Amino acid sequence: MGWWRTVLWIVVLVVGFMLLANITNTLLVFGLAWLIAYLLNPVVDLLEGQKLGPIKELKRGTAITLVYLILIGALLAVAALLFPQVSHQIEKVLTLQSTLDDPIELRFRIQEKIDYLMDKVHVPSEYRDQLFKRATELIQDSTSKIGGWVGQAFQYLAAFIGQMVSGLFLFITALIVSIYMLQNWHDSGDGFVEWLPRDYQDDARALGLKMNEIFGGYLKATIITSMACGVATLVALWILCLIWGAHFPYVFLIAFIAGISYPIPILGIIGTSIVGGVLGFLPENDLGFAVAVFVVINVVNSIIDRTVQPKLMSDAIGVSELFVMFAAFAGGELMGIWG
């Protein structure tokens, strides 16, 4: 009879995974709600039972309300500050698609940039026509491929923006669900442990505390380092613009990309560097400034890697870089940018 029980459990697991695969949005909402509740629970526990003004002892519900009011206020303040800047810069990038994904228009744009660069490096006139002819032939041969690549890149960017907007509703829903999770956070954990056989309950509690210490430390460190990378990139690019005397309209956009892509090993910095370099070249056709933007992004990332991250990760066990890349690809395939 033992093998029948094993087969039954396998069937139950297979059916369960098949059902879960059809409710990815629901899983995303509750997963995000659990993550929000997990991050806010220590703050709620800290406030619960404390004296605040005329309130002698904060009840858990009052502490949750206070924490969420502060959180929502902070989110609205950040959105009011950053959203107009980021959305405007994304709009400026998207307006380039009409010229860059057209092979004919793309050819003229690249020829203009080559002509500008030849003037910049003072190419002798006797070589200019020959160089320009060869460059034009090369551009004509490759322009359709380049246009296709650029057009596809902009389609990915448009899809990214669309998923961010549509995901806003999921985030708001998750925020509401997380309130109910927080209200019953400890009861839910105790209830789960009580389902286990009595002999395993103490071990389960000890395991839960250890996992909370490891996972919580890693998760909080990752969030803080990502925010630090975004802010540091923003400040560094501002300083670069002041020193260079250049008008760079994509500072907020690049800083935003640097922050959200920082946790992804290798691919995060490569993607941010390429996007930053390309956008650094477009406004003024200045190859030197594009290289400077590329270097600044990498320097900031290296500084965060060597200073902020080791200090915050000292009490947390890191996760394999290969696993993080796998999780990023799998989550993106299942649930888009929010996955």
Domain ranges of the chain: 24-335
159 Cβ contact list (under 8 Å, min separation 6): 336
Which residue would you say has higher pLDDT here, 165 or 105? 165
Lowest mean pLDDT among 82-96, 103-117, 223-237, 298-312: 103-117
Has this prediction a pTM greater than 0.85? no
pLDDT at 124 (0 to 100): 65
The angle subtended at Cα 39 by Cα 34 and Cα 42, nearest 5°, is 120
Percent of the chain with pLDDT over 70: 59
H helical segments located in 184-266:
185-195, 198-244, 251-261
Residue pLDDT, tens place only, 37-74: 888 888 888 888 877 777 778 888 888 888 899 988 98
Phi/psi of residue 55, each to 5°? -85, 115
Question: Quick check: 264 pLDDT over 60?
Answer: yes
State the average pLDDT over residues 151-156: 58
Residue pLDDT, tens place only, 8-46: 767 777 777 777 667 777 777 888 888 888 888 888 888
Q: Can you tell me the distance from the alpha carbon of 40 to that of 34, in angstroms, rounded to the nearest whole number?
A: 10
Residue pLDDT, tens place only, 316-337: 555 555 665 566 566 655 555 5
State the average pLDDT over residues 289-310: 86
Question: Quick check: 158 pLDDT over 70?
Answer: no
Percent of the chain with pLDDT over 90: 5
Residue pLDDT, tens place only, 222-255: 888 888 999 999 999 999 989 888 778 888 888 8
Q: Can you tell me the distance from the alpha carbon of 39 to that of 256, in angstroms, rounded to the nearest whole number?
A: 22
Lowest mean pLDDT among 12-26, 37-51, 133-147, 273-287: 133-147
Question: Quick check: 151 pLDDT over 60?
Answer: no
Token pair, residue 175, equals 């925020």
pLDDT at 300 (0 to 100): 92
Q: What are the Cα distances from residue 34, in Å, to 29, 220, 234, 329?
A: 9, 14, 30, 22
pLDDT at 140 (0 to 100): 54
